[in-house]
Structures are given as structure tokens and as C-alpha cells.
Structure 1
Amino acid sequence: MYPNDSADSQESLLLEQLQALLDDETECLKSGRMAELQRIATEKMRCFADIQSRMGPARQPSKNASDDAHLRNLLNDIMRKNQLNGQIISALERFNQGAWEIFFGAQPSTYSDLGTAKSSAERHLIGSA
């Protein structure tokens, strides 16, 4: 067993854990279980940090080409799943923004950024003539 074999197996376990978290995230996004997303996002960031600390720029390839191929395939799958989840989140954000504009209009806000009320000429309240 080579010294890198132990590190490779730890990296592989972390990548598989990250892959499972991304699968859970996808299922939460598709099913609307948004309450679980915060926990998953926290675990995902911790996992990303662990992987980043282990896979530095000085990482040497293992002596086993199939292990390297397995890690590369895991990384490609993780990148694809993370991109898909990002696309789902972007679509949900656009949907929510559209719903917000339908319900509340795209009118300027009643209050300024400082929390003071704007003049009636600067705002338009729902139902006003």
C-alpha cells in the first residue's frame, strides 16, 4: 500500500459524502422541503472545506490509475450535480421574484433605504386612484 492510497481513500470518502449531500439537496429542491436546505448547505460547505484542505496543489497522483479515474469521475459528477442544483435555485428565485411582482407590483417601495416614508408623489399604494 502506497502512502497516497490512504489519502486517496479519505478523499474518495469525502467526495462520496459530498455527492450524497448534493443528491439530498436536489431532492429537497424538487420536493419543496426548503427547511432542510440550511442543514444540507452547512454540511456541504464543511465537506467542501475538508476536501479543499486535503487536495492541495502539491497533490501527487496515486500509483493506481483506476483510483485516479474514480476520483476524476466523482469530481465530474459532483460538478454536474452542483450546477444542476444551482440552476434549480435560480429558477426558483426567478419564479419567486415574478410572484412578488404580480402580488405587489414592480412599483417603487413605500419606504426609503433609510426607513423613512417616501412622499406620495414617489410611491403608489395598492388600491389608490
Structure 2
Amino acid sequence: FPVAVQNFLRNYAWPGNVRELKNLVHRLLILGSGEEVELDEVKTALGEIVTKEAIEAPEFYDLPLKEARERFEKAYLEYHLEKHGGSVARLSQAIGMERTHLYRKLHSLGIKFKDKR
């Protein structure tokens, strides 16, 4: 693993245990796209783990529907915004939402972004 990936994994606040780290490393080595595991691959894999855990977390189901939906939408949009390099235009295209509606949604959820208009 490159030093940047090692540092990221070392500094990551692991919500699970050592088994989670072992499974992540195993999956990255098997499914990796190149000779070295890239930082983006690690972040994507961790995003999938965190999203799955957040949705399966029992406390998520105890929230009122409006709050649960807002938390999900915020996590979903933040994940995809980062995945698309902070570009609201690319995010809009990727998730199938009109850009004007997306800007309103980002503002209402308090999601910061760089306006590249």
C-alpha cells in the first residue's frame, strides 16, 4: 500500500474492529484495479461499509421518518458530491436530479460545496 493509503487507514476512526480492517484489505487486494491500492479505492470501499452500517443501524429505525430521510439524503449527497469531485453539475447528472432542485436540496441540508458557476 502507498504511504498515503497507509496513513489514511491508520487515522481512520474504525467503527468496527480488526476484522473489519482485515476484510477491507482483503477485498481491496482482490478487487483492486492496479498493482497498488489507490486512496480513492479505499475511500469508496469505506463509503460502502459506512453507508451499509448506517442503514442497518437499529437507531436509524427509531428516528422519525423526516429526520431519517434527511440524514440519509445528507449522507448520500455528501458521498456522491465527493465522488464527483465537488461538481454539482456532475452530481446532478449522476443522481438524476435537476440542478436547480439539487442546489436547493444541498442548501436545505447544510451541505457545503464550491459553486463553480
Q: TM-score, normalised by structure 1?
A: 0.28
| Higher radius of gyration, 1 or 2 | 1
Give the number of the structure with larger relative contact order, counting CA–CA contacts within 8 Å between residues 6 or more apart.
1
Structure-2-length-normalised TM-score: 0.31
